[in-house]
Amino acid sequence: MIQSTYSVVPTSRLEALSQLPNVLEPGHFDVLYEPSIGEDVCIADQKCKRCEARIFDKCATTETQWVCAFCNTYNDLSEKPISVSYTSSMEGNTGISPVLVVVDLNCDDSSELKALHSVLSQSLHQLSATEFGLITIIGNGDVTIHLTSGPMTFSSDDSTIVTKAQKLDWEHFEKKLPDKSVLWQSAENLVGILGTLNSVKRSSGQRHIRATGLALFLAALYANSGTHLPVISFLQGPCTIGPGKVVPKKLKHHIRQHYDLDSNKDKYFKPAKSFYEALAKRIYMHTFISSLDQVGVVEMMPLCSSAIQFDSYGEDRFATAFRSQAQDIVQVSKVTVNVSKGILVDGCFGKVTKLSATQQIYSDTPCGVSGTNCWALNTSKPSLSFSLRVDTAATKASSIDTIPGHLAIQFQYEYQKGKERYVKVDTLIVATTNHEMSTPTSIQDSFNAHVGLVCLMKQIAFEQAAKGRIHSFDQETWRYKVDALAASHYKLKSKGLNEFLEYLFRLKWTALLQKRNTSPDEAALFQLLVLVGTASLCELLCKPHVLIFANGQKLQVTNLDEHLLHVREAICVDGGNFVVVRYTSVSENADIATSYANSIVNTRCPPPIFKKTPVGGSQDRFFVSSLIPQGGLNTEDISLQDYLDLIRKMSLDV
């Protein structure tokens, strides 16, 4: 799926600046890309010999040749696709990377390790990898690598080991380690070793002595040159010793909060963040956390491709999450963008790595991961936002001879399934204002509010999660930019204006732009969820989906206001990362609402937290604050109507 914020783009600079508002750069537009895998007919792979774009149904053809829509080169024709979206099989394969598993044994409850062992014994074989490595974090600050020849332990009490790891002295450790081949073993052997290990309890008045940073450093030693090694980590608390330390061992010292990061008072934050940024050049990590307390996710964010918190590994939600992500953990894929002459690529917003460009079609106003048209990513279900710029002419008259009525944007998503490689090709055709059916308001009339919201959320999340711009001042700057964007759309009377303004109103009260009632780790997890989540999930994170269950029927609610507080029937609220069922009394409708909520938890990845509360119950305040961020309802925020009045006044000055 490719969707653009505008289906009509400008051709002159005046049109671009006056009719194409953008939160980052006026005159630019955004495209959302979410490829659908396995839904299209597979045809022969036909790539342009000049620009490497691929054929699609709108390309001109003869009996034996097809003309590239991007560079007008003639190429040999094997088979013409019947749509703008299709899949082709590719030659060769990239091989399947081994997976390194890091297990934190520090836990006061031995049942946690047993629950983890149970899930891994049932689900680890579902990964496409055939070789696994195991590193365990032990309670006295030791880290053990479980080799086929026997365990090898590194102690955080050894100052040489800690110093060399902090300085990223790879050669020192490579001399000590045996050949990489003795690390890898089968899933059955790994589960067998894990079954023989015991959890480690902490001393009274202290946190566990946990050397998470050292464990991940040792994991990074096993990455092959030029590649990123996938790591699955199962953590139960923060790093308290060695490189990557985020909090002291003694419980009297508290882990950093938002005000500590804003005032630059936490002495562990910057060294830990820099350390994990260096490791991110060698490994990427899928993290499962068995603790609702902070464990240092903010510091580890450069490493994390995904991160999910649980109250316990014994939760059904953990087993569901691991099974649903199993196929995604070792996926290494690539996305390439080709565009018509007249469009330039600003950059990509997502958990991606820059690759060498296949074409110099990137702009001089970079944003996101920029300076290329090709990126690597570690997921089989990407949801990426791209910023593009139309290379407009100085005047409308001069654009007629240089910019056609239609432009094309093509995405090529290369992935591996089993031992076979495929490429998913999706092409989007956008009209320009030089099209014969264009009108003076064609640009704003083609605005897509849903895509505009999702791309904006991913841009904000990228700045926070990837660039580390999480200071309160950064959030205030974004809130001002959001209001300015709303005012510009209000002045233009863009299509779907009322819906878009409500989205922006609600966006300002999410964890992207508010620190209230969240910890730094909670905010980081929210940012990561937005950055890698689907468009539908991002919309739910901004504006929850509400259903009322009455008389055996379910009714959707669009106006989320204080009237919902007085509804006596059962209500199910789907907020993307949480699902709440609210009811006045136990009834058949409440049971139906609960069943519906459970179906969401069991099918969504990652599975949301499920809460069930009677009216006035302990979780009812959570229901109110999540659903209705308006004045007089447990908050000091302005109402939607007050916000619309504010935007109307701001639009007079745009």
Domain residue spans of the chain: 2-92+334-436, 99-328, 447-542
For 297-365, give the secondary structure using H, E and C. Answer: HHHHCCCEEEEEEECCCCCHHHHHHHHHHHHHCCCCEEEEEEECCCEEEEEEECCEEECCCCCCCECCC
- The C-alpha atoms of residue 183 and residue 224 are separated, in whole angstroms, by 13
Q: How confident is the model at residue 40 (pLDDT cuts 50, 70, 90)?
A: low
Q: What is the DSSP string of 59-72?
A: S-B-SSEEE-TTT-
* Contact criterion met (CB below 8 Å) for 161 and 155: yes
Q: How confident is the model at residue 635 (pLDDT cuts 50, 70, 90)?
A: very low
Q: Which one has a higher pLDDT value, 24 or 452? A: 452
Q: How confident is the model at residue 559 (pLDDT cuts 50, 70, 90)?
A: confident
* Contact criterion met (CB below 8 Å) for 24 and 387: yes
**Burial tier of 84 (Cβ tally within 10 Å: 0-12, 13-18, 19+):** middle
The pLDDT, as a whole number, for residue 39 is: 63
Does the bond joining 271 to the residue before it have cis omega, within 30 degrees of 0? no
- The C-alpha atoms of residue 372 and residue 341 are separated, in whole angstroms, by 16
Q: Once rounded to an integer, what is the mean pLDDT over residues 144-169?
A: 94
- The C-alpha atoms of residue 340 and residue 354 are separated, in whole angstroms, by 21
Provide the greatest CA pair distance for the chain.
Answer: 80
- The C-alpha atoms of residue 476 and residue 16 are separated, in whole angstroms, by 27
Q: Once rounded to an integer, what is the mean pLDDT over residues 439-468?
A: 95
Q: Which of 341, 363, 390, 366 is nearest to 12 (CA)?
A: 390
- The C-alpha atoms of residue 192 and residue 2 are separated, in whole angstroms, by 45
Q: Once rounded to an integer, what is the mean pLDDT over residues 522-550?
A: 96
Per-residue tokens: 366: 């970079």
The residue written with tokens 């600079």 in the block is: 13
Q: How confident is the model at residue 632 (pLDDT cuts 50, 70, 90)?
A: very low
CA 376, 377, 380, 381 dihedral sign is: negative
State the Rg of the chain over Cα: 26
Alpha helices in 567-639 (DSSP H): 588-603, 620-627
The residue written with tokens 């590193």 in the block is: 135
pLDDT digits (tens, 9 = 90+) for 367-420: 999 999 999 998 878 999 999 998 887 778 878 877 888 999 999 999 888 778
Q: Residue 231 carries which side chain, given as an amino acid letter?
A: V
pLDDT digits (tens, 9 = 90+) for 300-354: 999 999 999 999 999 999 999 998 887 677 677 899 999 998 899 999 999 999 9
Q: Which of 243, 328, 230, 334 is nearest to 283 (CA)?
A: 230
* Contact criterion met (CB below 8 Å) for 611 and 560: no
- The C-alpha atoms of residue 604 and residue 576 are separated, in whole angstroms, by 9
Return the percentage of the chain with pLDDT > 70, whole number.
97
Q: How confident is the model at residue 468 (pLDDT cuts 50, 70, 90)?
A: very high
* Contact criterion met (CB below 8 Å) for 332 and 97: yes
List Cα–Cα distances, 316 to 120, 311, 570, 601, in angstroms.
Answer: 13, 11, 24, 10
Q: Which of 24, 37, 27, 33 is nearest to 4 (CA)?
A: 33
- The C-alpha atoms of residue 8 and residue 174 are separated, in whole angstroms, by 56
Alpha helices in 131-268 (DSSP H): 159-166, 170-176, 187-195, 212-220, 258-262
The pair phi, psi for residue 111, each rounded to 5°, is -70, -20
Per-residue tokens: 162: 């800690």
The pLDDT, as a whole number, for residue 523 is: 96
Q: Which of 35, 83, 89, 86 is nearest to 59 (CA)?
A: 83
Q: What is the mean pLDDT of the chain?
A: 91
At the fourth CATH level, the homologous superfamily of domain 2-92+334-436 is beta-sandwich domain of Sec23/24 (2.60.40.1670)
Return the percentage of the chain with pLDDT > 90, whole number.
71
- The C-alpha atoms of residue 507 and residue 390 are separated, in whole angstroms, by 28
Q: Which one has a higher pLDDT value, 133 or 635? A: 133
The pLDDT, as a whole number, for residue 365 is: 83
Q: Once rounded to an integer, what is the mean pLDDT over residues 519-525?
A: 96
- The C-alpha atoms of residue 368 and residue 460 are separated, in whole angstroms, by 10
Q: How confident is the model at residue 296 (pLDDT cuts 50, 70, 90)?
A: very high
pLDDT digits (tens, 9 = 90+) for 82-124: 888 999 988 876 667 899 999 999 998 889 999 999 999 999 9
Q: Which one has a higher pLDDT value, 529 or 615? A: 529
Q: Which of 344, 336, 341 is nearest to 373 (CA)?
A: 336
The pLDDT, as a whole number, for residue 633 is: 43
Per-residue tokens: 323: 């099974």
- The C-alpha atoms of residue 500 and residue 339 are separated, in whole angstroms, by 28
The residue written with tokens 């908050």 in the block is: 635
The residue written with tokens 């999450």 in the block is: 321
Number of Cβ within a 10 Å radius of residue 171 = 7
Q: Residue 156 carries which side chain, given as an amino acid letter?
A: S
Q: How confident is the model at residue 631 (pLDDT cuts 50, 70, 90)?
A: very low
- The C-alpha atoms of residue 189 and residue 177 are separated, in whole angstroms, by 21
Predicted TM-score (pTM) of this structure? 0.94
Count CA atoms within 13 Å of residue 469 on its CB side.
13
Q: Is the pLDDT of residue 549 over 60?
A: yes
Q: How confident is the model at residue 581 (pLDDT cuts 50, 70, 90)?
A: very high
Instruction: Indicate the angle between helix axes 497-507 and 535-542, nearest 10 degrees.
Output: 70
* Contact criterion met (CB below 8 Å) for 542 and 510: yes
- The C-alpha atoms of residue 22 and residue 15 are separated, in whole angstroms, by 13
pLDDT digits (tens, 9 = 90+) for 232-251: 999 999 999 999 999 999 99
> What's the distance, CA 12 to chain centroid?
35
- The C-alpha atoms of residue 208 and residue 267 are separated, in whole angstroms, by 20
The residue written with tokens 């209500």 in the block is: 571
* Contact criterion met (CB below 8 Å) for 233 and 305: no
Q: Is the pLDDT of residue 630 over 60?
A: no
User: Dihedral angle at the C-alpha atoms of 637, 642, 646, 648, nearest 10 degrees?
Assistant: 150
- The C-alpha atoms of residue 353 and residue 375 are separated, in whole angstroms, by 5
CATH topology of domain 99-328: Rossmann fold (3.40.50)
| 46-60, 90-104, 185-199, 629-643, range with the lowest pLDDT | 629-643
The pLDDT, as a whole number, for residue 190 is: 94
Q: Which of 636, 632, 593 is nearest to 613 (CA)?
A: 593
